[in-house]
Structures are given as C-alpha cells and as structure tokens.
C-alpha cells in the first residue's frame, strides 16, 4: 500500500510516535492523513495541519482517531468495514473451539512428551452451549450466525435492542455473562466500552464459563481477567487482543486454560487485500472528489 501511495501521491511520512507535523514539513500542503487502527490520528495532529480534510484509516476500528475533533473541524474520517467481518468471526469460532476443547493445550501436551503419562484432561463440548455476544454489529451478527450452526443458543448485549434478529437481548453485560457458557467480546473499543468486562462480569460468567475477545483489549479489565484465570473463577479465555499490544502480560503465559494469538482477526491474505483495496479506494475517491466511500460519520 505504501508503494502505491508513494507512486500515486505526494507523501510525507510522519515519524513513529509523532503527534504534530511541524512547519518544516509544509504542514499547510497536507490535505489527507492515512493511518492504521493501532496508530490513528490525534486531535493535536489534526490541529497541526490547517488544510487537512480527511483521515483515511486502514482497519475497521477507529477509536485511536479523535473523531470528535475531526467532526468539529469538518474533517472526514473513513475506515474499512465489512471486508474483514467474516475472517474475524471465523477466528472467534476457532478460538472458542480451541479453548473449550483444549486444542492448543493438548498440542503442548503432546510436544512435551506427556501423552505416554496418561490421557489429556477432558474438554467441553462445543455444540449445545449458551453463547453470549457483547456487541451485535456486523461482526457480532456473523459470530452469532456461525454459533447457531453448532446448535448453540445465542443471546447478546448492546446499547439498544436490535429489532431484526432472533436472539435474546440482555440489558446488562453481567446478566448476559450469567446466562452464558461462552462470552464473546465483539464490541468497538474506545472510552465508552473501556473495562466493560469487569470483575463483576467475570464473576457472573463463573467457573464453568469461557471468555473470547476478538474486539479490543481495552474492553476487558485485564488485571481482573488475570486474577479470574489464576484463581479459576472462570474456566478459560481465548484472547486475540490485549491492553498494551504487542506486549502481553507474562502471567498469561503460564496458564494452560488460555489461548493467546497476536491480533489475527483480519490476518488472512484475502481479507488484507480487500482492506487494502477499500483503503486505497477511499484515498483515491477523496483526492478526486473530496468524499470518501466509507465514512464513519
């Protein structure tokens, strides 16, 4: 993508960790910022670019971009929705199967040469579970449809009831957790959902419940989760996202009831290509028409 951008447009690269552009870099010439979900665009950056008109984001999440400042300044913000829905939902199902059946743990068991010592501990059946989904947006719905195919019952929590789905809506996350064998986090990140999965929610999930997070690490109180896992107050967790990526709490490394993946949600050749295509379409469309294909507001 960077090669294509460099070939088609005049591009300046902001230094890693930079928050401002600086007069020496001809800030007044910049009309668009391109960025990725982990980095985003701060309000300070936007204010340092007097002629900025668009922030084009590679990724579906945009909580790292100061959307309020963008709205105030009349700056368009775009992301790459829909094209990664299936792959993220697939991963959520895969992680659920892995942690409930103990697949990764069993793999380690075999590799350590322990099989001759006796059978690996029993896992949990994947079909027939009560699955709770936090956040019934595009990805949440895709997860729910897949879970139905296993004969699971699905319920959900979101800020408002979704009218056109057959799943039961719970008004609070704690009640949803209490009614679930598997709790899947599929809600957007940002201040409004920070630590939404709290100690109380984990206690409601209980010692037979599993947590799956393919959303954002900030949604789960990571310290509370570690304590719940160590103390066996929940059965296990499968985590694709973390609070301070790429750094993962070392306490999780020693736990065999945890599956850890390095933010693989959209990490397939097909999906990343589709994301790149949509990202570049947003850039090209903005540069030629002043509009973006997939605005976030």
> Please, which residues have CB within 8 angstroms of residue 186's CB and are 6 or more apart in sequence?
92, 133, 134, 135, 136, 137, 139, 140, 143, 214, 215
Tell me the C-alpha distance between 257 and 229, whole Å.
8
Catalytic annotation, residues? 216, 245, 263
Q: Which residues of 185-219 are buried (b: 16+ CB within 10 A; e: fewer)?
A: bbbbbeeebeebbbeebbbbbeeebbbbbbbbbbb
| DSSP string computed for 97-124 | HHHHHTHHHHHHHHHTT-GGG-PPPP--
Tokens of 189: 């990140």
SS3 90: helix
Q: Furthest-apart CA pair in the chain: how many Å?
A: 69
Paired with 55 in beta bridges are 33, 77
Tokens of 286: 């903005």
Task: Determine contact, residues 78/293, Cβ cutoff 8 Å.
Answer: yes
Tell me the C-alpha distance between 129 and 184, whole Å.
12
Q: Which residues of 15-36 are buried (b: 16+ CB within 10 A; e: fewer)?
A: eeeeeebeeebebeebebbbbe
């Amino acid at each position: 993508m960077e090669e294509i951008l460099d070939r088609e447009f005049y591009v300046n690269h902001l230094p890693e960790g930079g928050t401002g552009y600086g007069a020496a870099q001809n800030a007044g010439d910049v009309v668009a910022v391109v960025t990725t979900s982990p980095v985003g665009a701060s309000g300070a950056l936007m204010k340092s670019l007097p002629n900025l008109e668009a922030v084009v984001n590679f990724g579906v999440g945009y909580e790292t971009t100061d959307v309020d400042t963008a709205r105030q300044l009349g700056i368009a913000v775009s992301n790459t929705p829909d094209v990664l829905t299936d792959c993220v939902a697939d991963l959520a199902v895969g992680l659920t199967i892995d942690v409930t059946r103990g697949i990764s743990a069993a793999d380690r068991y075999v590799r350590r040469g322990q099989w001759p010592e006796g059978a690996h501990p029993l896992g949990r059946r994947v079909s027939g579970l009560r699955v709770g989904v936090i956040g019934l947006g595009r990805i949440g719905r895709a997860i729910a449809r897949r879970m139905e195919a296993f004969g699971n019952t699905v319920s959900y929590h979101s800020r408002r009831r979704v009218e056109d789905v057959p799943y039961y809506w719970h008004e609070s996350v704690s009640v949803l957790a209490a009614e679930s064998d598997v709790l899947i986090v599929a809600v957007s990140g940002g201040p409004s959902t920070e630590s939404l999965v709290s100690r109380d929610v984990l206690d409601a999930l209980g010692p037979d419940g599993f947590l799956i997070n393919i959303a954002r690490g900030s949604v789960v109180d990571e310290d509370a989760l570690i304590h719940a896992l160590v103390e066996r107050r929940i059965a296990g967790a499968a985590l694709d996202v973390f609070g301070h990526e790429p750094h993962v709490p070392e306490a999780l490394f020693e736990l065999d009831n945890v599956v850890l993946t390095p933010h693989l949600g959209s990490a397939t050749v097909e999906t990343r290509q589709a994301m790149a295509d949509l990202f570049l379409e947003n850039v090209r469309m903005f540069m030629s028409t002043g509009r973006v294909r997939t605005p976030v507001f």
